[in-house]
Amino acid sequence: MSIVYALVNVSVFFLAAPLYEGLSRKLTARVQSRQGPPILQPYYDILKLLGKDRIDSAGNWVFRVAPAAAFASILAVVGTVPFGFRENALNSRVDTITVVYLLTFGGVAVILGALSSRNTFAMIGASREMVTMIMVEPVLAMTLILGAVRAKSLAISGAIEGVAGAGFGASAVVMLLAYLLALQAFVARQPFDITEAESEILGGPFLEYSGPQYALFKYYMMLKQMFYAVLFVTVFCPFTRTGVYLMDMGIQLLATLAVFVLIALVGATHPRFRIDQAVRYYAVLILASLSAVTISVIGF
Amino acid sequence: MNFAKSLQSALEPEFTGAITAIEAPAAGRLFLDADRRLVREISKRLVALGGRYQVSIGCDDTSRNGSLGLIHTFAFDGHGLVVALRTSAPADDPVVRSITPDIPGAGWSEREFMDLLGLRFEGHPKPKRLVLADDWPPDIHPLRKDVPYNLVPPSAEDAAYQFDAAPEGTTTIPVGPFHTSLHEPAHFAVYVDGETIKGCDYRGFMTHRGIEKLCQTQVGYNEIPFIAERICGICGSVHATAYAQAVEEAVGLRIPRRAEYIRTVMLEIERLHSHLLWLGVAMHLIGFETLFMHSWRVREHIMWLSERITGNRKTYGMVVVGGVRRDITPELRQDIEVVLDKVEAETRGIHRAVIGDTAIHRRTRGVGRISAEEAVAWGLVGPVARARGVDIDVRRDHPYAAYDDLRFDVPIADSGDVWGTVHVRFLEIFESTRIIRQAVAQMPAGPLLTEPDAALPPWKHGLSLVEAPRGESVHYVITGEDNRPERWRVRAPTYSNLQAVPRMLLNNQFADFPIILGSIDPCFSCTDRVVVIDLKSGTERIVRRHELEALAKRQPE
């Protein structure tokens, strides 16, 4: 039975991720006094791209495989989230380190795809993505490790519940702040849309991609954004738990929407940072998340 | 003794015999005829005396005296004087000494006339092709009178511009010929070490259509303002006004005061439009889409207003030689005041948002910084110069139209960086609203046009300066026979400012490339002097939506 919950997870992410993207685009447009695209536009985009010809502009297998690899890795990750506070078949088989590893794998696939395309702008994007990954992933890893320390278990469901499940300690508060401040970087939105930076490097790593392969990357990005939003809701808002599966899921979806509203508003009110400025900012976040883990080890 | 006289007496003893004639046909203008062997020394001396190099004008006089003419102009901004240093070289030995080693801003002008006239400049540090296409035959110089305006030499496949060699240890990032941050075709080869810019070479003029040649050979005096207006989609009135003023000055035509006021109003409305447009683009370049959208929303009010005044949202078609075509009625005056209030209030809101946003400061402060001395040496103009503390503004220093009647400040910043250009342009928006309010209130009654004589006297020189939103525009007209100019030279502000961009980029981050280039508000079409007109039909035709769609959907053949 518990395998069904994993499938429900994947389907919910699959269906809802473009919707959140659509809503946040609409909200951004309203802030900018624009009409904005229809809320369903991201679905149309994906469908349109899937219907296009596959163009192999780089002519090597890394370039062809990278989008699928990124997509597969994010699917594996979203399957493991105890969505609706319900454990599923995957939770007991993967641990925190596997999830961090799988997430990183998605980023590595983006970088490999960009490097294999041999496009100057894509390569700049790849090097920026690499820096971002090295500097931002630790905040996520520390969040889960904090949970693991507090739950005294590396299992993913334990780690997720452990952060704030038994009430907010000092460590969880520091981590909450670090996670919130890293959120825009997790989802690659302004001021941290440095990797794609349309007006400098024309979309960076994805520049040479089109058609179905680009659709996979787009979907990957949307799923990743939803994952970080859902993870925030699951880790830091355990108090919404009612015990009724469908209700919990509904509440979590609404809370995720709130996170997306926050992301869209912050994104619409900031210019893009330069990579050197962003790195200094990330360094502070890493220190904050490290100190949160230290505090939890001491026992708060 | 006025300044022109004291300048003469400073030059004459030093260059006895080299300066063959001096004339001052109009107030604020001094024409010197000099021997080509001493042009470099005289130019250097003029700059040492406080002159600011503006532009060079080359012309083909072979049919009259077998020589090629070359004119360098220098502005003495504190004294309201422009000096044109004229020289010539025989067509069979077209060599002039280059002034670029002393005056870097002259580099492009000289390269332009190597291409277009076949002049040769002794001692030019970078005598590469500038204007002509890479496959253009090297021995055909399009501005020579014996080259027809519609000559199409056979194209070649293997010709390509050779960019400067990349400095050691750097990689080359191609920005262009098409790049989202450029909006128009131009090619920068940016040499980076990691993400730090170590150098840059530029190849532009990709859409050069020879508008000067066209106007010198095909149309009449009063058609040119409308073509001039299409040099640039944003500062059209500037070019039309500058051209008309140059002709009026050359032939000594006084235009009605009311027409001068209306020109002033249109120029300032154009500045409001341009600065709001720029602000949006600048915010887009640093990834701040929200302020981009809001600036353009405010700009829309200006476009609707322009439509009510002139019939056009942009490219107003107001200016002709001798005056303007439409009046500003009392109802329009009221309309203008209402719109100005709205634009000013909304711009103040955006201004507050920009000033208070620390992230914008971080992206613009210290970026693209150069010193005031370098800004002067490169001959920067407009907000780009004023952001470096160089206090120049043609409207105040060399008044034209109705600016001598109006009170306004010239905002200066001394930060020397991109932030300075943002700051200066904001304040200029508020100054412009102030100027327009005064102008519509003080405008005297009277006619709109002084009809010029049927035949204008040939071989007269006229030079006019207009402060475009991007800086000083210079137009030089030599009147000709056949009811059209013998020579018409346009120098848009980007022509000066773009030359200094490689210097501004040095040691900045690649991520700042778009905003540094954007900070000069580059207008490649001005620089390229593009125009597309259908000479065969010559009639106006409205392209309907379905036609446009059909055009867009047409399969390439």
For residues A38-52, give the mean pLDDT.
93
User: Do B71 and B60 form a contact (C-beta atoms < 8 A)?
Assistant: no
| Whole-angstrom distance, CA of residue A142 vs CA of residue A160 | 11
Do the Cβ atoms of B180 and A276 come within 8 Å?
A: no
Q: Is some CB atom of chain B closer than 8 A to the CB atom of A190? A: yes
Mutate to test the interface with B, among A199, A202, A276 (most CBs of B within 10 A): A199
Q: What percent of chain B has pLDDT over 90?
A: 38
Determine the pLDDT at residue B506.
Answer: 85
Do the Cβ atoms of A124 and B510 come within 8 Å?
A: yes
Q: Is some CB atom of chain B closer than 8 A to the CB atom of A194? A: yes
Q: Is some CB atom of chain B closer than 8 A to the CB atom of A280? A: no
| Whole-angstrom distance, CA of residue B228 vs CA of residue B77 | 26
Determine the pLDDT at residue A108.
Answer: 92
**Which residues in chain B are contacts of A32 at CB distance < 8 A?**
289-290, 292-294
What kind and span of H or E run contains B197?
strand B196-203
Do the Cβ atoms of A275 and B173 come within 8 Å?
A: no
Do the Cβ atoms of A272 and B173 come within 8 Å?
A: no
Q: Is some CB atom of chain B closer than 8 A to the CB atom of A130? A: no
User: Do B73 and B82 form a contact (C-beta atoms < 8 A)?
Assistant: yes
For residues A276-294, give the mean pLDDT.
87
For chain A, what is the mean pLDDT? 85
Determine the pLDDT at residue B550.
Answer: 58
CA distance A31 to chain B (A): 7
Beta-bridged to residue B19, according to DSSP, are B34
CA distance A187 to chain B (A): 16
Do the Cβ atoms of A202 and B179 come within 8 Å?
A: yes
**Which residues in chain B are contacts of A31 at CB distance < 8 A?**
290
| Whole-angstrom distance, CA of residue A214 vs CA of residue A67 | 7
What kind and span of H or E run contains B200?
strand B196-203
Determine the pLDDT at residue A153.
Answer: 78
For residue B556, name the pLDDT band (cuts at 50, 70, 90): very low
Q: Is some CB atom of chain B closer than 8 A to the CB atom of A30? A: no
Angle at A177 between CA A173 and CA A180, to 5 degrees: 135
Do the Cβ atoms of A33 and B195 come within 8 Å?
A: no
Do the Cβ atoms of B363 and A271 come within 8 Å?
A: yes
Beta-bridged to residue B489, according to DSSP, are B476
For residue B540, name the pLDDT band (cuts at 50, 70, 90): very low
Q: Is B437 helix (H, G, I), strand (E, B) or coil?
A: helix
Do the Cβ atoms of A33 and B287 come within 8 Å?
A: no
Which residues of chain B have a Cβ shorter than 8 Å from any chain A Cβ? Answer: 171-174, 179-181, 195, 283-290, 292-294, 297, 357, 359-360, 362-363, 509-514
For residues B240-267, give the mean pLDDT.
93
For chain A positions 32-71, those within 8 Å of chain B (CB to CB) are 32-34
For residues B40-60, give the mean pLDDT.
91
Total count of domains within chain A: 1
CA distance A24 to chain B (A): 14
| Whole-angstrom distance, CA of residue A54 vs CA of residue B198 | 38
b/e B197-231 (16+ beta carbons within 10 angstroms → b): bbbbbbbbbbbbebbbbbbbbebebebbbbbbbbb
Beta-bridged to residue B73, according to DSSP, are B55, B84
| Whole-angstrom distance, CA of residue A148 vs CA of residue A89 | 19
The lowest-confidence range among A174-188, A192-206, B93-107, B225-239 is: A192-206
* Alpha-helical regions (H) of B34-191: 39-48, 62-65, 107-116
Q: Is the pLDDT of residue B18 over 80?
A: yes
For chain B, what is the mean pLDDT? 86
For residues A46-59, give the mean pLDDT.
87
Q: What percent of chain A has pLDDT over 90?
A: 25
Query: Tens digit of pLDDT for each residue in A244-265?
Result: 888 888 888 999 999 999 999 9
**Domains parsed from chain B with CATH numbers:** 3-148 (3.30.460.80), 211-528 (1.10.645.10)
Do the Cβ atoms of A198 and B289 come within 8 Å?
A: no
Burial of residue B553 (number of CB atoms within 10 Å: 0-12, 13-18, 19+): exposed
Query: Tens digit of pLDDT for each residue in B509-518?
Result: 887 888 888 7
CA distance B177 to chain A (A): 14
| Whole-angstrom distance, CA of residue B88 vs CA of residue B103 | 20
Determine the pLDDT at residue B553.
Answer: 54
Which residue from B172, B180, B286 is facing A271, i.e. has the nearest CB? B286
Determine the pLDDT at residue B215.
Answer: 86
More confident residue, A300 or B331: B331
Do the Cβ atoms of A268 and B297 come within 8 Å?
A: no
What kind and span of H or E run contains B193?
strand B187-193
**Which residues in chain B are contacts of A270 at CB distance < 8 A?**
288, 359
User: Do A252 and A83 form a contact (C-beta atoms < 8 A)?
Assistant: yes
Determine the pLDDT at residue A16.
Answer: 92
Determine the pLDDT at residue B441.
Answer: 92
What DSSP line would sit under chain A, residue for residue? -HHHHHHHHHHHHHHHHHHHHHHHHHHHHHHTT-----TTHHHHHHHHHHTSPP--SS-SHHHHHHHHHHHHHHHHHHHTS-GGG---TTTTT-BHHHHHHHHHHHHHHHHHHHHHHT-HHHHHHHHHHHHHHHHHHHHHHHHHHHHHHHHT--BHHHHHHHHHTT---HHHHHHHHHHHHHHHHHTT-TTSTTTT-HHHHTTGGGTT--HHHHHHHHHHHHHHHHHHHHHHHHHH-GGG--S-HHHHHHHHHHHHHHHHHHHHHHHHT-PPPPHHHHHHHHHHHHHHHHHHHHHHHHT-
C-alpha of B85 from chain center: 20
Which of A49-53, B208-212, B498-502 has maximum average pLDDT?
A: A49-53
Determine the pLDDT at residue B13.
Answer: 84
Q: Is B119 helix (H, G, I), strand (E, B) or coil?
A: coil
| Whole-angstrom distance, CA of residue B118 vs CA of residue B95 | 9
Q: Is the pLDDT of residue B536 over 80?
A: no
Specify whether the backbone of B167 is left (phi greater than 0), alpha (psi in -120 to 50) or beta. beta
| Whole-angstrom distance, CA of residue A44 vs CA of residue A18 | 10
Query: Tens digit of pLDDT for each residue in A21-38?
Result: 999 999 999 988 888 999
Closest among B498, B508, B507 to B105, alpha carbons compared:
B498
Question: What torsion do the CA atoms of B379, B385, B389, B393 make, to the nearest 10 degrees?
Answer: 90
Q: Is some CB atom of chain B closer than 8 A to the CB atom of A274? A: yes
Pairing of strands B471-479, B485-491: antiparallel
| Whole-angstrom distance, CA of residue A269 vs CA of residue B290 | 7
Determine the pLDDT at residue B498.
Answer: 85
For residues B537-547, give the mean pLDDT.
45
For residues B183-196, give the mean pLDDT.
83
Burial of residue B325 (number of CB atoms within 10 Å: 0-12, 13-18, 19+): middle
Do the Cβ atoms of B171 and A271 come within 8 Å?
A: no
The lowest-confidence range among A106-120, B126-140, B179-193, B425-439 is: B179-193
Range of the domain at A174: 2-298
Specify whether the backbone of B307 is left (phi greater than 0), alpha (psi in -120 to 50) or beta. alpha
Residue type, A40: L
Angle at B62 between CA B61 and CA B65, to 5 degrees: 80
Question: What six digits make up the tokens of A169?
Answer: 């300690």
Query: Tens digit of pLDDT for each residue in A135-177?
Result: 888 888 888 888 888 877 777 777 777 777 667 777 888 888 8
Which of A201-210, B463-472, B524-533 has maximum average pLDDT?
A: B463-472
User: Do B493 and B294 form a contact (C-beta atoms < 8 A)?
Assistant: no
Q: Is some CB atom of chain B closer than 8 A to the CB atom of A28? A: yes
The lowest-confidence range among B146-150, B474-478, B529-533 is: B529-533
User: Do B302 and B269 form a contact (C-beta atoms < 8 A)?
Assistant: yes
Determine the pLDDT at residue A193.
Answer: 80
CA distance B374 to chain A (A): 26
Angle at A32 between CA A262 and CA B470, to 5 degrees: 130
Q: Is the pLDDT of residue B342 over 90?
A: yes
Question: What six digits make up the tokens of B419?
Answer: 């932030």
Beta-bridged to residue B467, according to DSSP, are B472
CA distance B363 to chain A (A): 7
CA distance A292 to chain B (A): 27
For residue B257, name the pLDDT band (cuts at 50, 70, 90): very high
For residue B507, name the pLDDT band (cuts at 50, 70, 90): confident
Which residue from A34, A197, A268 is facing B511, i.e. has the nearest CB? A197
Mutate to test the interface with B, among A201, A265, A275, A280 (most CBs of B within 10 A): A201
pTM of the model as a whole: 0.83
For residue A276, give the chain B residue with the closest CA. Answer: B509
Determine the pLDDT at residue B535.
Answer: 35
Query: Tens digit of pLDDT for each residue in A61-117?
Result: 888 899 999 999 999 888 887 777 777 767 777 788 888 888 899 999 999 998 888
For residue B297, give the chain A residue with the closest CA. Answer: A33
Burial of residue A215 (number of CB atoms within 10 Å: 0-12, 13-18, 19+): buried
Beta-bridged to residue B196, according to DSSP, are B193, B509
For residues A204-216, give the mean pLDDT.
88
Q: Is the pLDDT of residue B74 over 80?
A: yes
